[in-house]
Amino acid sequence: MTTLRFLDQAPRFLFFTGKGGVGKTSIACASAVRLAEGGASVLLVSTDPASNVGQVFGVSIGNTVTAIDAVPGLSALEIDPEQAAQQYRERIVGPVRGLLPPAEVASIEEQLSGACTTEIASFNEFTDLLTDAAWTAAYDHILFDTAPTGHTIRLLQLPGSWTDFLTEGTGDASCLGPLSGLEKQRAVYAEAVAALADQARTRLVLVARAQTSTLTEAARTHAELAGIGMARQYLVVNGILPDGVDGGSGEGGSGGEAVADPLFAAIRAREQQALAQMPDALRAAPTDYVALKSSNMVGLAALRGLLEPEVLPAAGQGEHAAPSAALPDSPLSALVDEIAAGGHGLVMLMGKGGVGKTTLAASVAVALAARGLPVHLTTTDPAAHLTDTLAGGAGSAEVRSLVSSSLKVSRIDPAAEIQRYTDTVLRTKGAHLDEQGLAMLREDLRSPCTEEIAVFQAFSRVIREAKHKFVVMDTAPTGHTLLLLDATGSYHREIQRQLGGTVHLTTPMMKLQDPEQTKVILVTLAETTPVLEAAELQADLERAGITPWAWVVNNSLAAAAPASPLLLARARNELPEIEHVQEKRAARLAVVPLLADEPVGIPALLALATSPLPAALPAVTRP
């Protein structure tokens, strides 16, 4: 059995955390199985909104402790984050419903509708598992998927009365709302936070992929948690391609026959480069590498094999033959054609980090500019990266000149915008606060909501340009943030009330809600968790009256025609996810293949948005 650092002399509590899609639920489940089969009594607790723990084990779990009969000693519990958040909201809003005006109740409910509420509500659910020794006495180990962020823990450590702070109207509308009415929980939270910081009782496991974006996120989480005393952390780099050419015999190899697959070699080279450039903060952490497996992590056999090397059959045999099902004939070029037909407008690419929306935004912008259409591409991506993406690569000087003459690029610096927004809030709302109130307000302004609001205010300054040209935006805020912005001073509704039907005025929210003016494109990957996260984002936007115009499934192996057994098996697993998006989620769909060479430079970006899917793939006309 492979020795893994993060499971060596495991303490009582293990927390697994990481970006969506990195495989933390699979790692947590596989770890629980290994510990239980080693003779320990284990409770696996999931607070991941994309949790499929029940599906993985083939049993119905839910919000009750359920024994996994196939693994003696293992039990599981799934905390439904949305259900927990709804119950949490009702405890706060219920007592004032009917006492306050409906508009004020609606405002409180909106403050409690964001991701911070869900996270705190979930944390509220599992604090008993950290602090109630009698309740958990039967378990040697309790594994959590996932851990709370450092921001949430800092909020729970704040002194004073959140309820008074909010009811006096001195708080800002981002993340303090979820904390109202928690005074009774203060002692319990203090004990839970102490348990998290105790290395003898708790181990934090950061799960990442061998990708720059997920390693950067892991480093950010590491620093955030280390800053509040949780410095001893372990790193698991999941889903790494084995040495050699798919099936080489080097360390971590998967066995089987070597296949000369340029795509495999290119992906592995990119992974090795990302690992070589890993942030220094992660290098000191004890690290394990888990090889990418050919199958989905469903069933005990798959879980037992996740933490061990895999032996694959040769190419063309069994489940590792080429996918036989047809992909939709949905190249990105079809979406660009439809966008270009409008002549101008706002195009917003949205999605979780790591799905490639910055590259796709640049590709769409370049494809529109190549038609001679005026385009403004604005992004929060670091300027140097975007500049290199546009300027690199070889290609026609004529194409470069045409695009450059039609394309304007701007970069919004999130740090500068956050500072500008923070200064404004402290100067206005913070003007008459005491020292304790200012401490709370400053903590609130360090939330993710603040960045969304600040960046969107900067985006808003260029929205008006979409009346005469194309404005392509990367990235956009969530529906929760948009509703908070719209509720500030009841701007949208107040303007409508004051003007009635006498004057026509288009507010920013109305522009976003109008599909003739704004096209929102959700970007995802053909994997379970990213698709679920994109679906949640779609629901969030629709709550704000914004209907996504299209979906893009990016970096698809199924659309890339791989040759190696491992990648062929992974390509087959993508097909149900693509079919689900096509049939259940997307009004329009584009599938973009994973490329051996990353699209760098105007010619490569242009090709990405104008080329059909590979001819080798069977294609069907989308209904």
54 and 105 co-located in one domain:
yes
Place of tokens 């008006």: 464
Does the active-site annotation cover 48? yes
Inside any domain, residue 364? yes
DSSP-derived pairing of the beta strands 74-78 and 66-67: antiparallel
Which long-range CB contacts under 8 A does 190-195 form with residues at least 24 apart?
Answer: 190/157, 191/127, 191/130, 191/131, 192/123, 192/127, 192/130, 192/131, 193/153, 193/156, 193/157, 193/228, 195/13, 195/130, 195/131
- Boundary of a domain, candidates 248, 274, 306: 306
Inside any domain, residue 160? yes
Distance of CA 460 to the CA centre of its chain: 23
269 and 358 co-located in one domain:
no
Q: How far is 243 from 249, CA to CA, in rounded Å? A: 7
> Phi and psi for 551 in degrees, rounded to 5?
-120, 150
**Which amino acid is located at 572 in the chain?**
R
Beta bridge mates, 585: none
Smallest Cα–Cα separation from 484: which of 106, 181, 100? Answer: 106
Q: Look up residue 448 and give its two tokens.
A: 């993710």
> Phi and psi for 12 in degrees, rounded to 5?
-70, -40
Q: With beta carbons less than 8 A apart as the criterion, state whether 235 and 285 touch.
A: yes
39 and 159 co-located in one domain:
yes
**Domain span at residue 205?**
5-306
- Boundary of a domain, candidates 306, 341, 366: 306
What letters, b where the CB count within 10 A reaches 16 and e where it falls short, cover 360-369? bbbbbbbbbb
Active site residue: 17, 19, 20, 25, which one?
A: 25
Inside any domain, residue 316? no
What is the reported pLDDT for 72?
A: 95
Smallest Cα–Cα separation from 228: which of 178, 277, 186, 194? Answer: 194
Active site residue: 17, 18, 24, 293, which one?
A: 24
What is the reported pLDDT for 255?
A: 44
What is the reported pLDDT for 547?
A: 94
262 and 380 co-located in one domain:
no
Smallest Cα–Cα separation from 242: which of 232, 231, 253? Answer: 253
293 and 403 co-located in one domain:
no
- Boundary of a domain, candidates 273, 306, 339: 306
Active site residue: 17, 20, 26, 66, which one?
A: 26
Inside any domain, residue 320? no
Inside any domain, residue 319? no
335 and 245 co-located in one domain:
no
Active site residue: 18, 20, 23, 479, which one?
A: 23
Active site residue: 18, 20, 21, 247, which one?
A: 21
220 and 348 co-located in one domain:
no
Which secondary structure element, helix H or strand E, spans residue 14, and what is its range? Answer: strand 13-17
Does the active-site annotation cover 23? yes
Active site residue: 152, 358, 475, 529, which one?
A: 529
Smallest Cα–Cα separation from 472: which of 335, 610, 585, 582? Answer: 335
Q: How far is 485 from 288, CA to CA, in rounded Å? A: 43
What is the reported pLDDT for 464?
A: 85
The total of structural domains in the chain comes to 2
209 and 333 co-located in one domain:
no
22 and 170 co-located in one domain:
yes
* Residue 190 per-residue DSSP state: H
Inside any domain, residue 35? yes
230 and 335 co-located in one domain:
no
Does the active-site annotation cover 167? no
Q: Look up residue 351 and give its two tokens.
A: 């999605």
What is the reported pLDDT for 352?
A: 81
What is the reported pLDDT for 617?
A: 38
342 and 464 co-located in one domain:
yes
The reported pTM is 0.79
Active site residue: 48, 172, 261, 540, which one?
A: 48
Does the active-site annotation cover 447? no
Does the active-site annotation cover 250? no
Beta bridge mates, 180: none
Render 266-294 in DSSP notation, one character per residue.
HHHHHHHHHHHT--HHHHTS-EEEEE--S
Inside any domain, residue 312? no
Inside any domain, residue 311? no
| Alpha-carbon dihedral 413, 435, 184, 199, rounded to 10 degrees | 60
Does the active-site annotation cover 529? yes
CATH number of residue 437's parent domain: 3.40.50.300
Grouped pLDDT means (10 residues each) for the chain, 623 residues: 89 88 89 96 81 76 88 90 79 82 77 71 76 86 78 55 47 51 65 84 93 87 82 93 56 46 91 93 93 86 90 55 62 95 94 86 94 91 65 63 83 87 84 79 74 79 89 78 56 48 61 90 91 89 91 94 89 92 95 89 88 50 33
Does the active-site annotation cover 128? no
488 and 614 co-located in one domain:
yes
